[in-house]
Structures are given as C-alpha cells and as structure tokens.
Amino acid sequence: MDDEQELRARAIARLEEKRDLVGSLATYVGVNGLLWLIWALTDRSTDDGVPWPTWVSAIWGFFVMMHIWKFFTRRPISEADIQREIDRHRLRS
C-alpha cells in the first residue's frame, strides 16, 4: 500500500471512530435525559437518598468516558514505533 492509500485508510478509520463516539454520546445523553425525565415526572422516589437513574448514568457514563479516553489518546502505530520495539527485542536477546 502506498503512502497516499495508507493515509486515506487511516483518515477513514479515524472518521469512523469519531462517528461512533458522537453516536455513543448522543445515545447516552438522549437515553439518560429520558430516564431522568421519567423519574422527575413520576414518584421521584430515592433509595437511600439516591435517585434510581443515578446508577444508570454513573455506570454508563464510566464506559462513555473510557470511549472518549480511548479516542483522544490512541494513535496509529508508526514505523518508528515498530522499529523501536524490534530494537528492544534485539537488545533482550
């Protein structure tokens, strides 16, 4: 694969990741907004002082944050990365 095709493939992959992230965020906000609205319009009961949608928002929010962290911290593996790893293995042998 030549450089132009590789850059194109990386750009497409990154755009797909971005689309997935935006979709995840929109779903999280929409569903959690609906759950909190249901809670607010119904009995507003709390178990030990915590509204029930809190658990859904917190647990799901953790996974959304992991998705965001992965999106912003992951980068493609470069040839320099591969060469450094090869050199490290050679030094160990």
Fill in the amino acid letter for 17. E
How far apart, in whole angstroms, are the C-alpha atoms of residue 16 and residue 39? 34
Q: What is the pLDDT of residue 86?
A: 87
Structure tokens belonging to residue 20: 């997935």
Residue with tokens 């906000």: 29
Output the pTM of the full model: 0.74
Question: pLDDT tens digit string along 32-73?
Answer: 999 999 999 997 877 678 898 999 999 999 999 999 999 888
CA 71 → CA 31, 35, 60, 65, 87, distances in Å? Answer: 22, 27, 17, 10, 28
Q: Poorest-confidence range of 4-8, 44-48, 81-85, 88-92?
A: 44-48
Q: Helices marked H in the chain — which ranges?
A: 3-41, 53-73, 79-92
Question: pLDDT tens digit string along 2-22?
Answer: 778 877 888 898 899 999 999
Which residues form the domain of 31?
3-92
Q: Count up the domains in the chain and report the number.
A: 1
Q: Poorest-confidence range of 39-43, 54-58, 77-81, 86-90?
A: 77-81
